Amino acid sequence: QVQLVESGGGLVQAGGSLRLSCAASGRTFSSYVMGWFRQAPGKEREFVAAMRWLTTDYTDSVKGRFTISRDNAKNTVYLQMNDLKPEDTAVYYCAAAPRLTPSRGGYDYWGQGTQVTVSS
């Protein structure tokens, strides 16, 4: 069982930066793929980024702007978001999966989400 708690969301102007954190419980954190998803109002939850060991994957719209990283000693995964755009506005969720995948269905554990709002 893995419990995930996100933090770091907020309101930022376009072009600004935020760093999201996701703290995980459980002694097997390092064995999980950790991912970030987001859900804008009226839209489906979509893949943002994921990381397994040193392998990362990003959706095209955030490549070059967002960076996923993890600190296994702290059981924490991060999402550094730079050059934010209004279309990045969404609730951001972290999730844990046994394998690296952009598919929402591949993730077994989810956090409660943190709101990111980017003003123009």
For the record, the structure tokens of 80 come out as 């550094």
Question: For residue 27, is pLDDT > 80?
Answer: no
Question: For residue 20, is pLDDT > 90?
Answer: yes
- pLDDT on residue 44: 97
Q: Give the pLDDT band (50/70/90) at residue 102.
A: very high
Question: For residue 46, is pLDDT > 80?
Answer: yes
Q: What is the mean pLDDT of residues 78-89?
A: 98
Q: What is the mean pLDDT of residues 37-66?
A: 96
Q: What is each CA distance from 117 to 12, 53, 57, 62, 66, in whole angstroms?
A: 6, 30, 23, 16, 15
